[in-house]
Amino acid sequence: MNSSNDRDTGLTDLLFSSTPLQPTPISVEPAHIPLTQPKPLDLSEIQVILLDVYGTLVISGSGDVGTADDAKHDAANQWIRDAAIAAGVDDLSKIPISNQLRDLIIATNEAARFETNPKPEVDILEIWRQVLDANGRWDLATNSKILVNWICGVEGRSNPVWPMPGAHDALMTMKENGRRLGIVSNAQFYTPLIVRALMANRPQDAKRDRSSDLAERTIAGDLSSVFDLNACHFSYRYRAAKPGPLLFDRAMRHLGSLGTSPDQVLYVGNDMLNDVWAAKEFGLRTALFAGDGRSLRLRTDDARCQNCLPDMVLTHWEQIVECL
């Protein structure tokens, strides 16, 4: 029998698509076409650029993190079983099914929903541990190495990712041009690993992570070479997601302590509500990334977005470099 180390695979290999993904065409009603056309902005006064991840820095196979749970239950349950086997789970009895995970996510979010936290977020690791514990599979609930690989395997099957064309080079150019970079994104524990692989330029060249149960400890050194870690805020760490205010509040508290005003900060994202509207609530300049039809969210039926327009529209990452 293979050892657990032999069964481990690189986490980034699990999360990225096995074949390259390409952006899909944008299709919107004629009245909304202006929101999908390039709109430049002079960025000479911008000191900080904050970024979303899914649908912005990376192509998201399902459109966004957390949306793949809308898939048919049979397919989701098969992903769970297949990923379990790949992660080294020998006994498949009493493993989670998609309904259990979904129901606990809904219940946990509802219990955490308050006026100050209108969009709660879960830590998916804790969700899986609770379901496994309830099912009597304490052996798996306490095995972080297997569990992390298992969850990443499910995510890679339901929502494979790939670098957005031009994103890596744009990040490097923005950094070289003296911009402070940060991340404000709805995310899970594996999202920083995706960003790390993006920074390696090609996901297939990203170093394999053999210490999967220590994944969180490995990301800071990698991200800090490009990003201000104090300006990087991932929703699962706070149990609060966009468009709620907490992530932007934390980012702007830090940037404000450095003497940066909101109008010197540009936020780039693909969702008019979660990204553009939420960032504008804090006075930030905004750029809508309209580069992939899978993930572009115009939210035209949401009242908060009716009179909300981005300062800039990007359809390719090269366009932001041209405005620096």
Bridge-based pairing of strands 180-185 and 48-51 is parallel
Q: Are residues 242 and 165 in the same domain?
A: yes
Orientation of helix 191-199 relative to helix 215-223, angle to 10° = 40
What's the distance, CA 7 to chain centroid?
26
Last residue of a domain, one of 143, 158, 173: 158
The radius of gyration of the chain's CA atoms, rounded to the nearest angstrom, is: 20
Q: Is the separation of the CB atoms in 167 and 62 below 8 Å? A: no
Print the domain residue range for 169: 11-66+160-322
**pLDDT tens digits for 52-109?**
999 999 999 988 776 554 556 789 999 999 999 999 999 999 999 999 999 999 999 9
Contacts of 146 (CB under 8 A, 6+ apart): 4, 87, 88, 89, 140
Q: Are residues 257 and 110 in the same domain?
A: no
Last residue of a domain, one of 158, 183, 216: 158
**CA 122/CA 239 separation, integer angstroms:** 5
Q: Are residues 221 and 291 in the same domain?
A: yes
Q: What is the CATH number of the domain that holds 51?
A: 3.40.50.1000
Q: Dig out the tokens for 251 from the structure.
A: 């980012």
Q: Which of 163, 152, 122 is nearest to 23 (CA)?
A: 163
Residue with tokens 């524990």: 189
Q: Which of 50-59, 121-130, 194-203, 267-276 has the lowest mean pLDDT?
A: 194-203
CB hemisphere CA count around 112 (13 angstroms): 18
Bridge-based pairing of strands 48-51 and 232-234 is unpaired
Number of domains observed in the structure of the chain: 2
Last residue of a domain, one of 130, 158, 186: 158
Q: How confident is the model at residue 203 (pLDDT cuts 50, 70, 90)?
A: low
Q: Are residues 216 and 96 in the same domain?
A: no
Q: Are residues 257 and 194 in the same domain?
A: yes
Orientation of helix 144-158 relative to helix 124-134, angle to 10° = 110
Q: Is the separation of the CB atoms in 200 and 167 below 8 Å? A: no
Q: Are residues 150 and 231 in the same domain?
A: no
| For range 288-298, the mean pLDDT | 97
Going along 194-283, which residue ranges are E strands?
232-234, 265-269
Q: What is the pLDDT of residue 5?
A: 31
